[in-house]
Amino acid sequence: MALTEPSLAAAVHWGQAGTLLLGAVAIMGSPGPATISLTAAGSAYGVRRSARYLTGIIAGTTAVLAAVATGVTVTLLAVPALRAVLAAASVAYILWLAYHIATAPPVTAQTATRQPPSLAGGALLGIANPKAWIAIAAVFASAHLTAGAVTDATAKIAILTLMIILINAAWLIAGASLAPVLRDRRWSRIINVTLAVALVGATALAIAHQV
C-alpha cells in the first residue's frame, strides 16, 4: 500500500519559512523603483485611483517570481542583450515616471481628468524593475522549505506572492498618507521632487548591482 504524501502545509519547515519572510521584508520590502513609484502614486492620486497601477506592479513582480522559480532568470540574465533590453526598458519608463512625479501639481490642483499611472505601466515596471530580479532571486535562494524541489518551489511561490501583495500595498498606503501634506504647494513640490530623485537613485543602485 502506497504511503500518502503529506500536504504542502505539513511538509513545510516553518522555521525556514520565517527566515524566508524576514528576508522578503528586508530585501523585497526595501525602497526600490516599484515601491517608491507606488508611494508617489499613492500621494498624488490616492489608493483607489492607483489600484490599477498597484495591480500591474503585483502582476509584473509575480511574473518575475515565476521566472526565478522556474530557472528562467538564470537564462535571461546570462544573455547580455536581454539584460540590456530589460535595463533600457526600466530606465526609460522610470525616467518618464520620475519627470511626471516631480512636476505633479499639488493635490488640490489635480483634476479628475489627470490620469494616474496605468495597469500596463505597472506591469512593465514590475517586470523590468532590476531590483525585483535581484531581490527575489536572493530571497528565493535564502531558505529551503521542503524536501522536494517542486513542493519547495510551490511553497516559496505561495509565500512570496503574498509578500509581494502586502509589501506593495503597504507602500501605496504609506504614500496616500502623505496626501494631506501635498495640499500645500511648497511641500508638494519638495516631496514630489524628493520622491522623483529617490526613484531615479534607487534604479541606478539596482542597475549598478547587476553590472
SS3 assignment, position 2 = coil
What pLDDT digit, counting tens, does each position of 40-80 carry?
A: 888 878 899 899 999 999 999 999 999 888 876 556 556 66
- 148-173 pLDDT, tens per residue? 777 878 888 888 999 999 999 999 99
The model's pLDDT over 118-136, given as tens digits with 9 standing for 90+, comes to 899 899 889 888 778 877 8
- pLDDT at 55 (0 to 100): 97
Distance, CA of 169 to CA of 23 (rounded, Å): 18
**Sequence-ordered list of residues with C-beta below 8 angstroms from that of 155, at least 6 positions apart, any chain:** 8, 11, 12, 17, 145, 146
Give pLDDT, residue 3. 43
Q: What is the DSSP annotation of 29-43?
A: TS--HHHHHHHHHHH
Residue 25: other Cβ atoms inside 10 A: 14
- Burial (CB count <10 Å: 0-12, 13-18, 19+), residue 8: middle
Q: Shortest CA distance to 125 belongs to which of 56, 62, 75?
A: 56
36, 37, 43, 46 alpha-carbon torsion, rounded to 10°: -130
How far apart CA 174 and CA 187 sit, in angstroms, is 17
The answer to pTM > 0.85 is: no
Report the mean per-residue pLDDT for the chain: 76
Burial class (CB in 10 A: 0-12, 13-18, 19+), 62: buried
pLDDT in tens, 26-45: 778 877 788 888 988 888 78
Of 162, 127, 129, 116, nearest to 20 (Cα)?
162
Residue predicted with more confidence, 173 or 108: 173
Q: Which pLDDT tens digit goes with each residue over 177-192?
A: 877 776 677 877 787 7
**What letter would DSSP give residue 106?**
P
The gap from C-alpha 202 to its chain's centroid, in whole angstroms, comes to 12
Question: 120: which residues sit within 8 A by CB, 6+ positions away?
Answer: 56
Q: Between residues 14 and 201, which one has the greater pLDDT? A: 201
Task: Name the band, by pLDDT with cuts 50, 70 and 90, for residue 111.
Answer: very low
Once rounded to an integer, what is the mean pLDDT over residues 10-35? 73
| Mean pLDDT along residues 187-211 | 72
Written as nine digits, the cell of 85 is 533590453
pLDDT of residue 119: 92
Is residue 161 within 8 Å of residue 153, measured between CB atoms?
no
**Residues 141/27, Cβ–Cβ less than 8 Å:** no
| DSSP 3-state of 160 | helix
